[in-house]
């Protein structure tokens, strides 16, 4: 049997009264009293002027609605502006006190500020849900918790009176118990028995209240793994988007430098070799050497143009994804049919990712599938770009770790998309990619 981690889990055990949970629960409740005083006294002092003003208005016989509304607005603004500053230290204390009645670790839901300095700290804290949950806990701590503790104190007081009733009556003073006045020790026997019967229930009442209070504190003040993982996931997603953005910027810079720099120099070199070739006899050793260099320069220029196109095609930047997909189909060694129903331009990261996914998919089809043809379909549906690449090859595409398909999936995931693959042995193969393309989607700017 597992060890209980809090009073509510231990209260059903038969040996509950012999464990330390009743005493831990009592210590937790007693430790709440100074916290309540620390929270309640300043709140009461701040509320005194408002209460005095409300009493004066009620005594005057009229209640100006405008003034009351203004006071309510001012009170709300003060609570919203200053409340979190009071709630944060109280929340930190309460998380530490939870260790007394809850063995499970409780973590703060706050994250580190994005930048140093008090303003960054305030901006981060006021934008976090954990801060406003702490403010809600502070409000409950000042209202609901005292009421619950007061009810328990009243029950304990009544049980104590029942147990002490013989001594009280024996002192010569009649007492009133319920609807009856008792003036002799014999009349107190039923009440004494009732008190003795209720006495074992006291540890259970204490444990229930302490466990409920701890559960409330844990729910509102414990960030837990979900909040922490959610915050970390947001930061990872943003950092991944920044990396994709930087990669695309660097890709375009390399394409521009090659196009405007290396390619232009190579074009000039090719022209010079061509002119030198005209000035030399074709059958001379120098003419043959220059002619060979000229042909190699032209081949190198063709390869450089293809490299520049593969880095980032100009047709994608100038005309969009639909035109770029048709350009891919024309360059493919296999017959490729393209159906692109894309109205208007898409965000740059979406177009770039869709293009390179199709380019890599068609390259894999030409190299490995043994297909006689392929088809590419692209359309928008429900705020997503959907691209399908199919072929009639042998199938059996392996999306294992380290493969090209894994790299495609990672690239699609970097822009919050997903990739699906169907490639049974014997074919056909269908690759489907879905990428969010709404303008409000949190994507790298490209």
Q: pLDDT tens digit string along 321-377? A: 888 888 888 888 889 899 988 877 888 888 888 888 888 888 888 888 888 889 999
- 128 DSSP 8-state letter: -
pLDDT of the residue at 70: 62
257 Cβ contact partners less than 8 Å away, ≥ 6 residues apart: none
Distance CA 24, CA 210 (A): 9
What pLDDT does residue 443 have? 46
Say if residue 441's pLDDT is above 60.
Answer: no
List, for residues 28-56, the tens digit of each pLDDT value: 999 999 998 888 776 666 666 666 666 66
**DSSP code of residue 222:** B
Length, in residues, of the chain: 446
Q: Determine the Cα–Cα distance for residues 4 and 253; give it in Å rounded to an integer.
A: 61
Query: Exposed, middle or buried by CB within 10 Å (0-12, 13-18, 19+), for 188?
Result: buried
- Tell me the two tokens of residue 412: 């699609």
Q: Which of 132, 192, 194, 197 is nearest to 164 (CA)?
A: 192
Cβ 98 vs Cβ 107: under 8 Å? no
Work out the number of other CB atoms within 10 angstroms of the CB of residue 378.
22
The counts of H helices and E strands in the chain are 14, 7
| 3-state SS track over 199-211 | CCHHHHHHHHHHH
Residue with tokens 């159906």: 339
Q: Name residue 340's beta-bridge partners.
A: 378
- Average pLDDT, whole number, for the chain? 79
Beta strands in 265-373 (DSSP E): 336-341
Q: Tokens representing 323?
A: 């035109």
Per the listing, tokens 């937790």 go with 28
pLDDT in tens, 375-407: 999 998 888 899 999 988 888 887 766 566 777
Give the sign of the dihedral formed by CA 50, CA 56, CA 61, CA 62.
negative
Least confident of 16-30, 51-65, 163-177, 252-266: 51-65
| Whether the bond into 428 is cis, omega within 30 of 0 | yes
């Amino acid at each position: 049997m597992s060890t209980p981690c809090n009073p509510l889990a231990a209260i059903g055990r038969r040996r509950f009264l012999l464990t330390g949970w009743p005493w831990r629960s009592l210590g937790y409740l007693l430790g709440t009293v100074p916290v309540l005083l620390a929270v309640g006294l300043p709140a009461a002092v701040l509320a005194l002027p408002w209460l005095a003003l409300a009493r004066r208005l009620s005594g005057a016989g009229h209640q100006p609605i405008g003034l009351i509304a203004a006071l309510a607005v001012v009170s709300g603004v003060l609570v919203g502006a200053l409340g979190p500053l009071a709630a944060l230290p109280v929340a930190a204390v309460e998380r530490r006190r939870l260790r007394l009645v809850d063995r499970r670790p409780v973590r703060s839901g706050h994250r580190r500020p994005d930048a140093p300095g008090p303003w960054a700290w305030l901006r981060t804290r006021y934008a976090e849900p954990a801060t406003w949950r702490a403010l809600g806990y502070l409000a409950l701590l000042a209202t609901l918790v005292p009421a619950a503790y007061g009810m328990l104190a009243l029950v304990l007081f009544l049980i104590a009176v029942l147990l002490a009733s013989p001594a009280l009556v024996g002192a010569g003073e009649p007492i009133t118990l319920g609807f009856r006045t008792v003036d002799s020790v014999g009349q107190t026997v039923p009440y004494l028995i009732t008190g003795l019967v209720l006495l074992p229930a006291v540890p259970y009442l204490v444990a229930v209240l302490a466990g409920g209070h701890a559960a409330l504190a844990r729910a509102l003040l414990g960030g837990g793994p979900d909040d922490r993982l959610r915050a970390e996931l947001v930061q990872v997603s943003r950092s991944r988007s920044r990396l994709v953005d930087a990669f695309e910027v660097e890709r375009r810079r390399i394409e521009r430098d090659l196009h405007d720099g290396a390619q232009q120099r190579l074009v000039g070199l090719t022209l010079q070799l061509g002119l030198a070739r005209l000035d030399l006899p074709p059958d001379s050793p120098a003419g043959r050497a220059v002619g060979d260099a000229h042909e190699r320069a032209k081949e190198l220029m063709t390869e450089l143009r293809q490299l520049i196109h593969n880095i980032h095609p100009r047709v994608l930047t100038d005309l969009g994804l639909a035109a770029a997909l048709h350009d891919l189909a024309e360059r493919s060694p296999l017959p490729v049919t393209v159906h692109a129903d894309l109205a208007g331009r898409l965000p740059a990261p979406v177009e770039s990712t869709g293009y390179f996914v199709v380019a890599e998919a068609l390259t894999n089809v030409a190299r490995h599938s043994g297909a006689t043809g392929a088809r590419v379909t692209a359309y928008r549906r429900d705020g997503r770009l959907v691209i399908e690449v199919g072929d009639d090859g042998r199938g059996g595409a392996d999306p294992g770790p380290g493969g090209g398909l894994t790299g495609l999936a990672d690239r699609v995931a970097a822009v919050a998309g997903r990739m699906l693959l169907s490639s049974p042995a014997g074919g056909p193969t269908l690759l489907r990619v879905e990428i969010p393309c709404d303008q409000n989607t949190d994507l790298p700017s490209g």
